[in-house]
Structure 1
Amino acid sequence: MAYTHMLVMFFIGVSLCNGFIYRRFYAKSPQISVTVQDQWFVQRLDHLNGADSRVWKQRYFVNDSFTQDSGPVFLMIGGEGAANPAWMTYGTWITYAEKMGALCLLLEHRFYGQSHPTEDMSVDNLRYLSSQQALADLAHFQTVMTEKLGLGSRKWVVFGGSYPGCLAAWYRIKFPHLAHAAVASSAPVQAVVNFTEYLDVVQASLARNHSDCPRSVKLASDTLLELLAYKENYEKITKDFNLCKLLDVSSKMDFAFFLDTIAEYVMDIVQYNNDNREFEGVKGTNVTIQVVCNIMASESLGSPYERYVEVLQHIMKAKKEKCIDVRYHKYVQDMRDSRWGGPSSTGGRQWLYQTCTEFGYFQSSDSPSQPFSGFPLSYHVQQCYDIYGADFNLSMVTGAVQQTNENYGGLNVQASRIIFPNGLIDPWHALGINTNLSIDLVAIPMQDAAHCADMYPARPEEPPVLPAVRRQIFDQLTNWLQL
Structure 2
Amino acid sequence: MMLIVKSFFILTLIKCNVAFFSDHKEPEVELKDDLKSSVLKNVKEKWIHQKLDHFDENESRVWKMRYLENDGYLSEDGGPIFIYIGGEWKITQGWLISGHVHDMTKEFGGIMFYTEHRYYGKSHPTSNTSSDNLKYLTVQQALADLANFIKYIKITNPKLKNSGVIVIGASYSATMATWMRLKYPDLVNGVWSSSAPIYAKLNFYEYNEVMTESIRKIGGEKCLNRIEKAFEKLEEFVANTEPKNLFKIEQDFNLCEPLNLTRDLQHFFYELSDTVANLVQGHRNYDIQLACDYITSNKIDDDVKAFSKWVIKQKREEKCIDVNYDELVSKFRNITWGAKANEQLRQWIYQTCDSFAWFQSGTSLNQSFGSKYPQISYFVQMCSDFYGDHFTERIIEQNVARTNDEFGGFNPQVTNVYSTHGDLDPWKAMGTMKDLSKNSPTCVLQSYAHCADLNSISTRDTDEMKESKIRVKELIKGWLKL
TM-score where L is the length of structure 1? 0.89
Tell me the residue number matched to 1:76: 84
AA partner of residue 93 (structure 1): V
Task: Please say if 1:331 is aligned against 2:328.
Answer: yes
AA partner of residue 75 (structure 1): I
Tell me whether 105-114 or 290-299 shows the greater mean CA deviation: 290-299
Tell me the residue number matched to 2:282: 272
CA distance in 2, matches of 1:66, 1:20: 32
Tell me the residue number matched to 2:230: 220
Asked if the contact 1:18–1:80 (Cα under 8 Å) also holds between the matched residues in 2, the reply is: no
Equivalent in 31, 36, 40 of residue 47 of structure 2: 40
Equivalent in 118, 124, 138 of residue 116 of structure 1: 124
Task: Please say if 1:303 is aligned against 2:305.
Answer: no
Tell me whether 382-391 or 191-200 shows the greater mean CA deviation: 382-391
Asked if the contact 2:19–2:360 (Cα under 8 Å) also holds between the matched residues in 1, the reply is: no
Task: Please say if 1:368 is aligned against 2:369.
Answer: no
Q: Residues 15 and 65 from structure 1, CA distance in 2 versus in 1: closer, same or farther, beyond 3 angstroms?
A: closer
Tell me the residue number matched to 1:9: none
TM-score where L is the length of structure 2? 0.89
* Aligned-pair CA distance for 1:23: 4.7
Q: How does 1:427-438 map to 2 (within 5 A)?
A: 427-438=426-437
Q: How does 1:115-134 map to 2 (within 5 A)?
A: 115-134=123-142
* Aligned-pair CA distance for 1:391: 0.6
Structure 2: state its 5+ residue gaps. 1-10
Task: Please say if 1:173 is aligned against 2:182.
Answer: yes
Q: How does 1:11-22 map to 2 (within 5 A)?
A: 16-21=13-18
Moved over 4 A (4+): 27-35, 457-464
CA distance in 2, matches of 1:22, 1:398: 19
CA distance in 2, matches of 1:308, 1:457: 36
CA distance in 2, matches of 1:463, 1:326: 40
- SS of 1:300's partner is coil
Asked if the contact 1:192–1:359 (Cα under 8 Å) also holds between the matched residues in 2, the reply is: yes
CA distance in 1, matches of 2:172, 2:22: 19
CA distance in 2, matches of 1:58, 1:129: 13
Q: How does 1:326-405 map to 2 (within 5 A)?
A: 326-373=323-370, 374-405=373-404
CA distance in 1, matches of 2:464, 2:216: 20
Task: Please say if 1:192 is aligned against 2:201.
Answer: yes
* Aligned-pair CA distance for 1:19: 3.4
* Aligned-pair CA distance for 1:207: 0.7
Tell me the residue number matched to 1:159: 168
1:27-61 CA-partner distances (Å, limit 9, x unpaired): 89899996643211111110010110110000000
- SS of 2:339's partner is coil
CA distance in 1, matches of 2:278, 2:24: 15
Asked if the contact 1:214–1:370 (Cα under 8 Å) also holds between the matched residues in 2, the reply is: no
CA distance in 1, matches of 2:201, 2:21: 22
Q: Residues 15 and 168 from structure 1, CA distance in 2 versus in 1: closer, same or farther, beyond 3 angstroms?
A: closer
Tell me whether 206-215 or 426-435 shows the greater mean CA deviation: 206-215
AA partner of residue 349 (structure 1): R
- SS of 1:76's partner is strand
- SS of 1:260's partner is helix
Tell me the residue number matched to 1:281: none
Q: Residues 264 and 464 from structure 1, CA distance in 2 versus in 1: closer, same or farther, beyond 3 angstroms?
A: farther
Task: Please say if 1:248 is aligned against 2:259.
Answer: yes
Tell me the residue number matched to 2:23: 26
Structure 1: state its 5+ residue gaps. 1-13, 276-286
Asked if the contact 1:38–1:61 (Cα under 8 Å) also holds between the matched residues in 2, the reply is: yes
CA distance in 2, matches of 1:23, 1:78: 18
AA partner of residue 476 (structure 1): L
- SS of 2:378's partner is helix
CA distance in 1, matches of 2:207, 2:188: 31
CA distance in 2, matches of 1:232, 1:412: 52
> RMSD over aligned Cα, in angstroms?
2.2
Asked if the contact 1:256–1:375 (Cα under 8 Å) also holds between the matched residues in 2, the reply is: yes
Asked if the contact 2:21–2:274 (Cα under 8 Å) also holds between the matched residues in 1, the reply is: no
- SS of 1:264's partner is helix
CA distance in 2, matches of 1:195, 1:93: 31
Larger radius of gyration, structure 1 or 2?
2
Tell me the residue number matched to 2:4: none
CA distance in 2, matches of 1:423, 1:296: 24
Asked if the contact 1:64–1:103 (Cα under 8 Å) also holds between the matched residues in 2, the reply is: yes
Asked if the contact 1:171–1:179 (Cα under 8 Å) also holds between the matched residues in 2, the reply is: yes
* Aligned-pair CA distance for 1:224: 1.9
1:291-346 CA-partner distances (Å, limit 9, x unpaired): 122223333322222221232133234xx444322111111101111111112111
* Aligned-pair CA distance for 1:460: 4.7
- SS of 2:313's partner is helix
Task: Please say if 1:66 is aligned against 2:63.
Answer: no
Asked if the contact 1:247–1:326 (Cα under 8 Å) also holds between the matched residues in 2, the reply is: no
Number of aligned pairs?
455
AA partner of residue 54 (structure 1): R
Asked if the contact 1:19–1:428 (Cα under 8 Å) also holds between the matched residues in 2, the reply is: no
Tell me the residue number matched to 1:3: none
CA distance in 1, matches of 2:381, 2:269: 16
- SS of 2:386's partner is helix
Tell me whether 430-439 or 59-68 shows the greater mean CA deviation: 430-439
Q: Residues 28 and 80 from structure 1, CA distance in 2 versus in 1: closer, same or farther, beyond 3 angstroms?
A: closer
AA partner of residue 250 (structure 2): T
Tell me the residue number matched to 1:4: none
- SS of 2:442's partner is strand
1:70-98 CA-partner distances (Å, limit 9, x unpaired): 42111111111111222221222112211
1:121-155 CA-partner distances (Å, limit 9, x unpaired): 11110000000000000000111111011211110
Q: Residues 198 and 316 from structure 1, CA distance in 2 versus in 1: closer, same or farther, beyond 3 angstroms?
A: same
Asked if the contact 2:279–2:287 (Cα under 8 Å) also holds between the matched residues in 1, the reply is: yes
Tell me the residue number matched to 2:7: none
- SS of 2:64's partner is strand
AA partner of residue 263 (structure 1): S
Q: How does 1:223-238 map to 2 (within 5 A)?
A: 223-228=233-238, 229-238=241-250
Asked if the contact 1:453–1:466 (Cα under 8 Å) also holds between the matched residues in 2, the reply is: no
